[in-house]
Amino acid sequence: MKIANARVIVCSPGRNFVTLKLETADGLYGLGDATLNGRELAVASYLTEHVVPLLIGRDARRIEDIWQFFYKGAYWRRGPVTMSAIAAVDTALWDLKGKALNVPVYQLLGGASREAVRVYGHASGESIEDTLAAVGRYRDRGYTAIRAQCAVPGMAKTYGIGRTDAYEPAERGALVESVWDTSRYLAIVPVLFERLRREFGPDVQLLHDVHHRLTPIEAARLGHALEPYHLFWMEDPTPAENQESFRLIRQHTSTPLAVGEVFNSIHDCRLLIQEQLIDYIRTTVVHAGGISHLRKIASLAELHSVRTGSHGATDLSPVCMAAALHFDLSVHNFGIQEYMPHSTDTDRVFPHAYTFAEGMMHPGDAPGLGVDIDESLAVTFPYERAYLPVARLTDGTMHDW
């Protein structure tokens, strides 16, 4: 099981993806996702220039040792570029081990802890009425948990509002600057959820993403205002570099909190978990060091009654989605998985065994991760520069993501 070859494949079937393909001398290969939205080529370069040369000749069976080698051995620790690169190596090694032993990865992780994985979808609209209609469509497709986002009146563009149910967060070409107005946002969100509960009753699980736009006290106020509508979670209420700021939010509201899609190591969420300042940890395979590191975060979270709720937007490739589903199926303290279906072109480039039915997903029982890459099709979709939009306050001040 010596690693004989390693290649980085960059393609853009609807959006950019970076994939690491590891090949062994015995003719097996494993895939890992290394996509970092808006910074794809930085990870591709880190892999090609610094990681791939050190991988050749290593024993692919030594997953933990290779992880520690790239984490401790680089001297420079953590950071999204490094951790996405390590994640790609780790994911590809789990894929390889599954294929070598002829079992799906979840069997290597302790086996299934549940029959299938509950996912949530993204409903959004330009008005409250549009958002209600979008939630209705998700219900009709079988989703039992739905994230609801509504455009903020008076703001030309609100992040997270799709023109169709299937949308892409990054915009190709020039970077878009939008205007953010906290007062208007805080005014509309409770009205939206009051309508949603009235219309859809108590059974559907409702989620909301704040995208880090509030201060801790504003977030506390929103969480408190949403309490009558029993959200499954309020996500990323405030930027979380300062983990202590969640103490303030927690003191004021019982609305469950989910944080962590931008975190890349256990140290980014250690205090949040140990002090039980959050309810769901959203770290994901590709951005938090792969399946191996995510399992350590989940184990810490399990000790403190925090459950997992991994990020699953379209900028995580089907390779990451497959890895996430193997992780979700196996880990005891799984909470929910985000699922934003990929474009048809993406699904054609990355054929996969995972399935969706009635709001639940399963990774399938193919050996390894159960996902492939059609390289001859991938080359027909070359990289295109794209960025997430940024937000400024009405007076032009650059605002938090």
Q: State how far the Cα of 63 lies from the Cα of 292, in Å rounded to an integer.
A: 8
Q: State how far the Cα of 108 lies from the Cα of 272, in Å rounded to an integer.
A: 29
Q: Which of 71, 143, 159, 280 is catalytic?
A: 159
| Residue number with CB closer to ligand KDG (211 or 293) | 211
**Closest approach of ligand KDG to the CB of residue 286, in Å:** 11
Number of residues that bind Mg ion (CB under 5 A): 2
**Closest approach of ligand KDG to the CB of residue 108, in Å:** 28
Asked if 209 interacts with Mg ion (CB under 5 A), we say yes
311 is catalytic: no
**Closest approach of ligand KDG to the CB of residue 53, in Å:** 29
325 binds, among ligand KDG, Mg ion, none (CB under 5 to 8 A by kind): none
37 binds, among Mg ion, ligand KDG, none (CB under 5 to 8 A by kind): ligand KDG
| Residue number with CB closer to Mg ion (28 or 294) | 294
| Residue among 289, 364, 312 nearest 82 (CA) | 289
* Residues 253-282, interacting with Mg ion (CB under 5 A): 261
| Residue number with CB closer to ligand KDG (132 or 320) | 320
| Residue number with CB closer to ligand KDG (132 or 259) | 259
User: CB neighbours (10 Å) of residue 254?
Assistant: 12
Residue 249, Cα to own-chain centre: how many angstroms?
23
315 binds, among ligand KDG, Mg ion, none (CB under 5 to 8 A by kind): ligand KDG
Residues 6 or more apart whose Cβ sits within 8 Å of residue 401: 211, 212, 213, 239, 388, 390, 391
Across the strands, what pairs with 391? Answer: 178
| Residue number with CB closer to Mg ion (95 or 209) | 209
| Residue among 372, 313, 310 nearest 347 (CA) | 372
The residue with its CB nearest to Mg ion is 209
33 binds, among Mg ion, ligand KDG, none (CB under 5 to 8 A by kind): none
**Closest approach of Mg ion to the CB of residue 365, in Å:** 30
Residue 186, Cα to own-chain centre: how many angstroms?
25
Q: Which of 211, 287, 326, 362 is catalytic?
A: 211
169 binds, among ligand KDG, Mg ion, none (CB under 5 to 8 A by kind): ligand KDG
> Collapsing DSSP states into helix, strand and coil, what is residue 36?
coil
| Residue number with CB closer to ligand KDG (4 or 388) | 388
150 binds, among Mg ion, ligand KDG, none (CB under 5 to 8 A by kind): none
Judged on CB neighbours under 10 Å (0-12, 13-18, 19+), 134 is buried
- Sort strands 233-235 and 257-259 into parallel, antiparallel or unpaired: parallel
| Residue number with CB closer to ligand KDG (364 or 389) | 389
- Sort strands 117-125 and 360-362 into parallel, antiparallel or unpaired: antiparallel
Per-residue DSSP letter, 356 = E
**Closest approach of Mg ion to the CB of residue 45, in Å:** 26
Across the strands, what pairs with 20? Answer: 8, 32
State the residues that interact with ligand KDG by CB under 6 A: 37, 169, 209, 211, 261, 311, 313, 315, 338, 388
Residues 6 or more apart whose Cβ sits within 8 Å of residue 184: 152, 153, 154, 155
The residue with its CB nearest to ligand KDG is 313
**Closest approach of ligand KDG to the CB of residue 299, in Å:** 24
120 is catalytic: no
Q: State how far the Cα of 400 lies from the Cα of 304, in Å rounded to an integer.
A: 29
**Closest approach of ligand KDG to the CB of residue 287, in Å:** 9
Q: Give me 202's structure tokens.
A: 């108590």
Sign of the CA dihedral 14, 378, 5, 62? Answer: positive
Please list the active-site residues.
159, 211
Contact set with Mg ion (CB under 5 A): 209, 261
